Amino acid sequence: MTGAAAVLLLAACSRGQSVALPAKDAAPAEVLTTYLQALRSGDCQSAHALATSSFVHGNGELCGELTVTAYTPLGDPATPRDGEVVFGTNLTTKGGDGSMPDGNHTWFYTLDRQPDGTWRIVSGGSGP
C-alpha cells in the first residue's frame, strides 16, 4: 500500500470522530493542525471553535460544505504583519461543487492572534 493510500484509508476511518481542542496558549501551527484534523473528521463543532465567527460564516470555511479526505503537513508560515500568520497546505477533497471540484487543492489559512492571546483562523482560500 502506498503512503498516499494509507493516508486516505486512515482519513476514511476517522470520519465522525471528535477532535480534542488545543490549549489556549497553543501556537498557530497547532491550532491549524487541530482544525485540519477536525475538518478531515467531519467535526465542525471543533473546527468552528478554532475560528472566528466571520470565518465560520463565510470567508473560506469548508467544514460542512465538502469532505476533506486528507491534508499535507504544514510548512513554515508567512508572517505578513505582527499577530498574523499564513499557512499553505494541500487538501484532498470530494463532494464539492463546481467551485471546488474533487481532487487536490492548495489552500491558504490566515490566523490572527486574538485579544485574549489565542490564535484563531480568520480566512481561508485558494490564494494568500
Domain definitions of the chain by residue range = 24-125
Per-residue confidence (pLDDT) for residue 2, from 0 to 100: 42
CB 52 within 8 A of CB 31: no
Per-residue confidence (pLDDT) for residue 16, from 0 to 100: 62
Per-residue confidence (pLDDT) for residue 103, from 0 to 100: 92
pTM: 0.82
| Among 94, 92, 80, 93, CA closest to 123 | 80
Per-residue confidence (pLDDT) for residue 9, from 0 to 100: 37
Per-residue confidence (pLDDT) for residue 75, from 0 to 100: 86
Structure confidence by residue, pLDDT tens digits, 63-117: 888 889 999 978 899 998 899 999 999 999 998 777 788 999 999 999 999 999 9
CA atoms of 28 and 45, how far apart (whole Å): 19
CATH topology of domain 24-125: Nuclear Transport Factor 2; Chain: A, (3.10.450)
Q: Greater confidence, 21 or 96?
A: 21
